[in-house]
């Protein structure tokens, strides 16, 4: 993938702005396909959280959701805020996507989108292995394999490595999308934060045209 134009997408399954950006990622995949493959890196929004959400945290989260809905039109199930003692730990959902990525990058992107849908639009508890295993199976994955590998130490380390890559790259918020032409070329920032498909798709087409011209002159 690194020897051709490609995108790197930094995201978290429990990031509301990433849920807002989810249709944009789908549009990118549909528009460009293998011409511009997407590599997913899990950002780790709130990994390892151990404190239940209090009313102040719920109010802050609700405000974020309202802003995302206004910007993107994405649906939210506000019954989430009736939950008692919910611990907003994003590590298990990230780990589930990393496990899906072992199957394929497309599976990882599908898993990310499905967790977004389950958490934000359907009020499912995506911090639990049972829910994550069910989502994985609904995408055609082997549920028994998922359950067997989900707590594997190597998978935990692989997920932490994603968080480290995100931090070392200097990503400070999600979604972040960057574009690269080949292994030795610097990356170009596509967006740091939410943008609509109407903004992103033309920008990517322009970027690809520039890469083609550059290749033609080399």
**pLDDT greater than 50 at residue 1:** no
Q: What is the pLDDT of residue 2?
A: 59
What is the number of H-type helices and E-type strands within the chain? 8, 4
Q: Does domain 6-217 have CATH number 3.40.50.620?
A: no
One DSSP character per residue, 103-166 reads: H-HHHHHHHHHHHHIIIIIT---TTSHHHHHHHHHHTT--HHHHHHHTT-HHHHHHHHHHHHHH
Q: How far apart are the first and last CA of the chain?
A: 20
Identify whether the C-beta of residue 10 lies closer than 8 Å to the C-beta of residue 216.
no
pTM (predicted TM-score): 0.95
Rg of the chain over all Cα atoms, to the nearest angstrom: 18
> Helix, strand, or coil here: 190?
strand
Alpha-carbon distance of 133 to 124, in angstroms, equals 12
Residue 197 has a pLDDT of: 98
pLDDT tens-place string over residues 108-164: 999 999 999 999 999 999 999 999 999 999 999 999 999 999 999 999 999 999 999
Q: Could you state, in order of their start, the residue ranges of all structural domains in the chain? A: 6-217
Structural contact between residues 90 and 12, judged by C-beta atoms closer than 8 angstroms: yes
């Amino acid at each position: 993938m690194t020897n051709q134009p490609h995108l790197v997408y930094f995201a978290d399954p429990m990031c509301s702005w990433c849920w807002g950006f989810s249709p944009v990622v789908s549009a990118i995949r549909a528009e460009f396909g293998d011409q511009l493959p997407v590599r997913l890196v899990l950002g780790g929004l709130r990994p390892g959280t151990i404190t239940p959400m209090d009313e102040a945290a719920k109010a802050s989260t609700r405000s974020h959701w309202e802003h995302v809905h206004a910007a993107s039109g994405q649906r939210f199930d506000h019954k989430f805020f009736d939950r008692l003692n919910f611990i907003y730990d994003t590590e298990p959902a990230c780990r589930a996507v990393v496990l899906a990525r072992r199957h394929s990058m497309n599976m990882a992107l599908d898993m990310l989108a499905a967790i977004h849908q389950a958490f934000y639009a359907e009020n499912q508890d995506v911090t639990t292995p049972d829910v994550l295993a069910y989502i994985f199976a609904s995408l055609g994955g082997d549920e028994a394999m998922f359950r067997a590998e989900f707590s594997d130490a190597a998978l935990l380390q692989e997920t932490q490595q994603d968080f480290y890559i995100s931090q070392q790259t200097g990503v400070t918020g999600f979604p972040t999308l960057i574009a690269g032409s080949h292994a030795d070329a610097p990356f170009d920032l596509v967006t740091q934060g939410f943008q609509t498909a109407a903004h992103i798709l033309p920008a990517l087409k322009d970027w690809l045209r520039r890469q083609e011209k550059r290749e033609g002159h080399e």
